Amino acid sequence: MMKPRWLHILMLLFFIIFSVFLPVKGSAMSEAQQKIFQRKIYYFNAEACGATAPDTSGDVSADPETASTTLGCCQNDSSTQLSGRNPAEKVWNFFIDKGLSNIQVAGIMGNLQVESSFSPTAMYPSTHGTDPTVDVAWGLGQWTNGKAVGVKRDSGASGSILSLATQLDMMWWELNNRSPTGQQHIINKLKTIHNLSEAVIFWQIYYEGSGTQGRAQRQAAAITWKNHATGGSGSSTPATADATGGDCGSSDDSSSSDTGDGKVEFASGANLPGKPVTDVTTDYLKKVSGIYGKTLICTTGTNHDKYTVDGNISDHYSGHACDIGMSANHGTDDGPVGDAIMKACLVAAGDSPKEAAKTAKIRNGPVQTRTNNGLRIQCIWGTNAGGNHHNHVHIGARPG
Ligand SMILES: [Zn+2]
């Protein structure tokens, strides 16, 4: 993990260019993000990852057991879904999602910045291609002596060893088991650190094992990352910028302004001509979208039978429901995308995220009806109750 000084300077330059030209813009947070926001821990924007994800090489959405539904985007060939618009944001969000604090993650970031600039294919020296078995400093953590191969095997991390998600999984395993320096369970100690400088030094000594090399650059990069996340640098706005008013849709906030920044689009033919979905329902859908973290496509709004399969007048017909079809929303029947949308529907209705996640995974259960904030809300998914709801999430919201 030794490197000449010029490489550090080069990496720092890249970092500066990167921070100035790729500012993170504010957006709605996922439910997990909101929860962590309450603890003053910051995610970078998880939005738009579908557009920029370079590591999308497979579709894990067909397997609800292995796919994480926390963030609902940026799938890759690892079972871990990364969110963020670039590798650095993905690394940040990965560790935040694991429950580490801003300080702890910034300490990691400062080191990884200098080690690999967050590139899973960073090699030093670079003359060996990307072969992980040869003795180079290799990948995100700059594993040496071909160690990465053993770590991948021991950790059981799935996916390509060249992918960022896989390497993050490997790293997380090392923190919880055996670090590259041979230390056991360094995560426990890391979690007790609340001082940035200490976090940087701890990682450099116990993870990287690189003595004091590039210490100043690591510290400087860590400070920049911490500021980047908390808005202290002024050069960019973190994902939390529009949540500072406290109206980011937390489950126990029942104010009517609580609609988040989510977006809803109506597929052509979703509504009957001249008969749009009502504003109150659209607002609820936006709230769900904000929690889900992605635009929701309403595939059936008012263009629906007047009656439900049970003979009641459908909420659709009166403009108070939308079906979120799986194929239009990049999901699969009974798959994790539907689980995530269902969960968001329930969280928006006041369920705790934990409870909602559990309920969303139920198959062939009942219609979930809630009353919240003056609305009667129905979330239906993964069941034949009220019709076939395996291929779409029904979201209904009407006054009363
Ligand atoms: Zn429906």
Tens of pLDDT, residue by residue over 261-284, are 689 999 888 998 889 999 999 999
What confidence tier does 9 reach under pLDDT thresholds 50, 70, 90?
A: confident
CB contact at 8 A, 326 and 382: no
Residue 221 clears pLDDT 70, i.e. is over it: yes
Handedness of CA 280, 285, 289, 292 (dihedral sign): positive
Q: How far is the CA of 2 from the centre of ligand 1 (A)?
A: 59
Q: How far is the CA of 391 from the centre of ligand 1 (A)?
A: 11
> Which residues on adjacent β-strands are paired with residue 365?
none
Q: How far is the CA of 379 from the centre of ligand 1 (A)?
A: 9
pLDDT of residue 301: 95
Asked if residue 399 has a cis previous peptide bond (ω within 30° of 0), the answer is no
Q: How far is the CA of 310 from the centre of ligand 1 (A)?
A: 13
Residue 54 clears pLDDT 70, i.e. is over it: no
Q: How far is the CA of 395 from the centre of ligand 1 (A)?
A: 7
Q: What is the mean pLDDT of residues 198-217?
A: 93
Query: What's 395's DSSP letter?
Result: E
> Which residues on adjacent β-strands are paired with residue 123?
138
Structure tokens given for 139: 């990948």
Q: How far is the CA of 251 from the centre of ligand 1 (A)?
A: 23
Residue 97 clears pLDDT 70, i.e. is over it: yes
CB contact at 8 A, 315 and 380: no
What confidence tier does 219 reach under pLDDT thresholds 50, 70, 90?
A: very high
Q: How far is the CA of 256 from the centre of ligand 1 (A)?
A: 24
Neighbours of 17 (CB within 10 A): 10
Most distant CA pair in the chain: distance in Å? 75
What confidence tier does 235 reach under pLDDT thresholds 50, 70, 90?
A: very low
The lowest-confidence range among 162-171, 223-232, 271-280, 361-370 is 223-232
Q: What is the mean pLDDT of residues 115-127?
A: 84
How far is 101 from 190, CA to CA, in rounded Å? Answer: 10
What confidence tier does 245 reach under pLDDT thresholds 50, 70, 90?
A: very low
How far is 274 from 347, CA to CA, in rounded Å? Answer: 31
What residues have CB less than 8 Å from 118, skipping those under 6 apart?
86, 87, 88, 90, 91, 112, 140, 164
pLDDT: is 61 or 215 the higher one? 215
Q: What is the mean pLDDT of residues 278-298?
A: 93
Average pLDDT score over the chain = 78
Q: What is the mean pLDDT of residues 343-368?
A: 94
Query: What's 208's DSSP letter?
Result: I
Q: How far is the CA of 172 from the centre of ligand 1 (A)?
A: 41
Residue 343 clears pLDDT 90, i.e. is over it: yes
pLDDT: is 99 or 135 the higher one? 99
Q: Look at residue 369 and give its three-state secondary structure.
A: strand
Q: How far is the CA of 322 from the centre of ligand 1 (A)?
A: 6
What confidence tier does 49 reach under pLDDT thresholds 50, 70, 90?
A: very low
What confidence tier does 40 reach under pLDDT thresholds 50, 70, 90?
A: low
Q: How far is the CA of 385 from the centre of ligand 1 (A)?
A: 11
Q: How far is the CA of 248 from the centre of ligand 1 (A)?
A: 26
Residue 320 clears pLDDT 90, i.e. is over it: yes
Q: How far is the CA of 105 from the centre of ligand 1 (A)?
A: 42
Q: How far is the CA of 247 from the centre of ligand 1 (A)?
A: 28
Q: How far is the CA of 323 from the centre of ligand 1 (A)?
A: 5
Q: How far is the CA of 61 from the centre of ligand 1 (A)?
A: 22
> In the block, which residue shows the tokens 């079906």?
323
Domains of the chain (ranges; CATH) run 5-243 (1.10.530.10), 264-399 (no CATH)
What residues have CB less than 8 Å from 216, skipping those under 6 apart?
none
Q: How far is the CA of 337 from the centre of ligand 1 (A)?
A: 17
pLDDT of residue 68: 31
What residues have CB less than 8 Å from 6, skipping those under 6 apart?
none
Percentage of the chain beyond pLDDT 90 is: 49
Instruction: Return the half-sphere exposure (C-beta side, CA atoms, 13 A cut-off) of residue 143.
Output: 27
Q: How far is the CA of 358 from the centre of ligand 1 (A)?
A: 21
Residue 247 clears pLDDT 80, i.e. is over it: no
Q: How far is the CA of 312 from the centre of ligand 1 (A)?
A: 12
Q: What is the mean pLDDT of residues 22-50?
A: 55
**Is the whole-model pTM more than 0.85?**
no
Of 122, 40, 62, 58, which Cα lies nearest the Cα of 87? Answer: 122
Q: How far is the CA of 377 from the centre of ligand 1 (A)?
A: 12
Q: How far is the CA of 305 from the centre of ligand 1 (A)?
A: 10
Q: Residue 27 is which amino acid?
A: S
Kindly state the helix (H) or strand (E) to which residue 170 belongs, with its residue range. helix 164-176
Asked if residue 353 has a cis previous peptide bond (ω within 30° of 0), the answer is no
Q: How far is the CA of 394 from the centre of ligand 1 (A)?
A: 4
Q: How far is the CA of 321 from the centre of ligand 1 (A)?
A: 6
Neighbours of 173 (CB within 10 A): 17
What confidence tier does 259 reach under pLDDT thresholds 50, 70, 90?
A: very low
Q: How far is the CA of 67 from the centre of ligand 1 (A)?
A: 25
